[in-house]
Amino acid sequence: MESLYVLIIVLAGIILYSVFTYFRQKKILKTLTEEEFKSGYRKAQLIDVREQKEYDGGHILGARNIPLSQLKMRLGEIRADKPVYIYCQNGMRSGRAAQLLHKKGVKDLYQLQGGFKKWTGKIKRK
């Protein structure tokens, strides 16, 4: 019976953390439709936070690849004074990337709704 209480407390903690993270991301990161994303990303820093292999398989024309796994080490490559448009495969990693960038002083953050898998615009393959 005691282990059931522990399990319930752990699950409640995970749910609370997930809800907190979701609302924090919504506050610091604006999600754009593909049309909104297309209209603004050329005047911004376009960052693909997927891994190199995913990027090589196809990416938005003009995107720079800085995988989420390398983002902490490569923060110096991103300017805090220019908008940052980020995307990943489906939107999960771009949310985590936005939290990291926001902590480092980047405030103008946008992500592609649905991620790269929903993108219908021009792409480039390596």
27 compared with 9, residue with greater pLDDT: 9
Q: Is the dihedral of CA 84, 77, 72, 47 positive or negative?
A: positive
Type of residue numbered 43: K
Residue 78, C-beta contacts closer than 8 angstroms, at least 6 positions apart: 45, 47, 66, 84, 101, 106
pLDDT tens digits along 68-77: 999 999 999 9
Nearest to residue 45, comparing CAs of 81, 85, 73? 85
HSE-up of residue 57 (Cα within 13 Å, Cβ side)? 9
Please classify residue 83 by burial: count the beta carbons closer than 10 Å to its beta carbon, then call 0-12 exposed, 13-18 middle and 19+ buried.
middle
Lowest mean pLDDT among 15-19, 56-60, 96-100: 15-19
pLDDT tens digits along 114-123: 999 999 998 9
pLDDT for position 100? 94
